[in-house]
Every structure is written in structure tokens, then in C-alpha cells.
């Protein structure tokens, strides 16, 4: 493994859903060279983003509930959690299903989760604690916008770059160039010194523990 991507997501946001699909596709392309993580981002600004029509369609408690269920599914494996979240999003966004306990459990069953364990975990104190750890990580890294990805090259110790407004092709190029030349991320940061929003080198050792 050479690269890690941490994608900060609002579960009730179509842009994040598209970003998740792009990251997953890049991971399939690069295979063992890349490890990916989805980190929920539910700041006050994110929760109160009423320009997002989904925030009007669903009760304001839904994003947090989706995150708790995602974290519970992740206890059975990171990939299980990601597959659960994206399957749930597909049903809510594309198929316009209502959000309810039944669809949560149906999604868990479709992803072949241990349903008894899933139901216990989603009500556990540990799930809530991991959610709060995610929010602290986002604050410490100054991540304020959903669909922000942090790309790490393990040969650069704890240096990473924040990438926004990417698609599959652009993210794949970032990753491939970083694999070819470990100094690539530092070069991108230097070239975009006047564009701190889109590209910013960060250092955050504790992120690796998430």
C-alpha cells in the first residue's frame, strides 16, 4: 500500500455520493496500492445547508442516524460499512425511498451483515464515540466542506493534500502521479500556494488511527 484517501462525507448529499463512487472506482483501479476511508462530516453548517434539497425532504435527524448506522456496519469491516452507506444512498437518492427502520435493516441484510450484531452496535456507546472522534478529526484538519478528500502518500510520513471538486479521472491522475513520484504532492502544494481552498498540504498524525 502506497496511498491512503480519507473522504469526508455528508451522507445526505448527492455530491458526496458521487465522490464516494469516484473514490471507490479509483481504489478498484489501483487495487492494493490504495486504501480508502469514508469519514462522516456533520458540522452545524453541513446540517443547516438548506440549499441541499435533500435536507428539506428528510427530517434533520436523518443524517446523524445514517452515520450511526454506517459506523455500526463498519464494525463488521470498512468495506461493509462503505457498501452499506452507498447502497442506502442509492435507495434514498435514485429510487427516492423513504428513510425508515425497515429500509435500514433491508440494506443491512442485502449487504449480508450479521443483523443481530448490527442492531446491537448501532445502539452502542462505542458507535457514538467513533462518530465524535470523526468530527474532532475534521475540526483539527480544518475540513469544512463535504466531499473533501485527503490524499496521503505513505513515503511522505504524515503529509497529505486536501483535494476538492474532483472526479474519477482527476483523482486517478493525482494518485498515479503521486505513486510515480513521492514529491508530487509537495509540488502540487507549491504550485497552488495562492489557491489554499482546493489544494493544501496538511500534517495530521492522529488521522491514521481513525
**pLDDT in single tens digits along all 210 residues of the chain:** 689 999 999 999 999 999 999 999 999 999 989 999 999 999 999 988 888 999 889 999 999 999 999 999 999 999 999 999 999 999 999 999 999 999 999 999 999 999 999 999 999 999 999 999 999 989 888 899 999 999 988 877 666 788 999 999 999 998 998 888 765 655 655 555 555 444 444 443 444 444
Between the alpha carbon of residue 55 and those of residues 17, 63, 89, 101, 187, the distances in Å are 15, 9, 13, 19, 38
Local structure of residue 46 (DSSP, 8 states): H
Between the alpha carbon of residue 125 and those of residues 72, 121, 131, 133, the distances in Å are 11, 8, 10, 13
The alpha carbon dihedral of 118, 59, 83, 137 has a sign of negative
Q: By CB neighbour count within 10 A (0-12 exposed, 13-18 middle, 19+ buried), where does 97 fall?
A: middle
Q: What is the pLDDT of residue 182?
A: 60
Complete DSSP assignment for 106-169: HHHHHTT--HHHHHHHTTSHHHHHHHHHHHHHHHHTT--STTEEEEEEGGGTTEEEEE-S--HH
Q: What is the pLDDT of residue 66?
A: 97
The alpha carbon dihedral of 119, 122, 127, 131 has a sign of positive
Asked if 113 and 70 touch (Cβ cutoff 8 Å), the reply is no
pTM: 0.86
Q: What is the pLDDT of residue 186?
A: 58
C-alpha angle 103-22-75 in degrees, rounded to nearest 5: 45
Q: What is the pLDDT of residue 161?
A: 85
3-state secondary structure of 171: helix
Asked if 23 and 82 touch (Cβ cutoff 8 Å), the reply is no
Look at residues 197, 158, 150, 199 and name the one whose alpha carbon lies nearest to residue 39.
Answer: 150
Look at residues 19, 18, 36 and name the one whose alpha carbon lies nearest to residue 27.
Answer: 36
Amino acid at each position: 500500500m502506497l496511498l491512503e484517501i480519507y473522504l469526508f462525507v455528508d451522507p445526505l448529499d448527492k455530491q458526496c455520493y458521487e465522490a464516494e463512487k469516484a473514490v471507490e472506482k479509483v481504489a478498484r483501479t489501483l487495487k492494493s496500492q490504495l486504501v480508502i476511508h469514508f469519514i462522516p462530516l456533520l458540522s452545524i453548517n453541513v446540517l443547516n445547508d438548506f440549499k441541499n434539497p435533500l435536507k428539506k425532504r428528510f427530517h434533520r435527524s436523518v443524517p446523524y442516524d445514517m452515520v450511526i448506522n454506517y459506523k455500526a456496519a463498519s464494525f463488521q469491516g470498512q468495506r461493509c460499512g462503505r457498501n452499506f452507506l452507498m447502497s442506502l444512498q442509492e435507495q434514498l437518492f435514485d429510487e427516492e425511498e423513504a428513510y425508515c427502520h425497515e429500509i435500514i435493516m433491508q440494506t443491512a441484510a442485502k449487504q449480508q451483515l450479521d443483523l443481530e450484531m448490527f442492531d446491537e452496535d448501532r445502539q452502542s456507546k462505542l458507535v457514538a464515540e467513533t462518530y465524535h472522534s470523526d468530527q474532532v478529526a475534521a475540526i483539527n484538519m480544518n475540513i469544512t466542506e463535504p466531499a473533501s478528500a485527503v490524499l496521503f502518500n505513505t513515503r511522505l510520513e504524515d503529509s497529505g493534500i486536501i483535494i476538492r471538486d474532483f472526479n474519477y479521472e482527476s483523482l486517478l491522475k493525482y494518485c498515479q502521479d503521486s505513486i510515480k513520484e513521492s514529491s508530487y504532492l509537495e509540488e502540487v502544494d507549491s504550485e497552488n500556494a495562492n489557491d489554499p481552498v482546493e489544494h493544501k498540504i496538511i500534517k495530521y498524525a492522529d488521522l491514521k488511527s481513525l
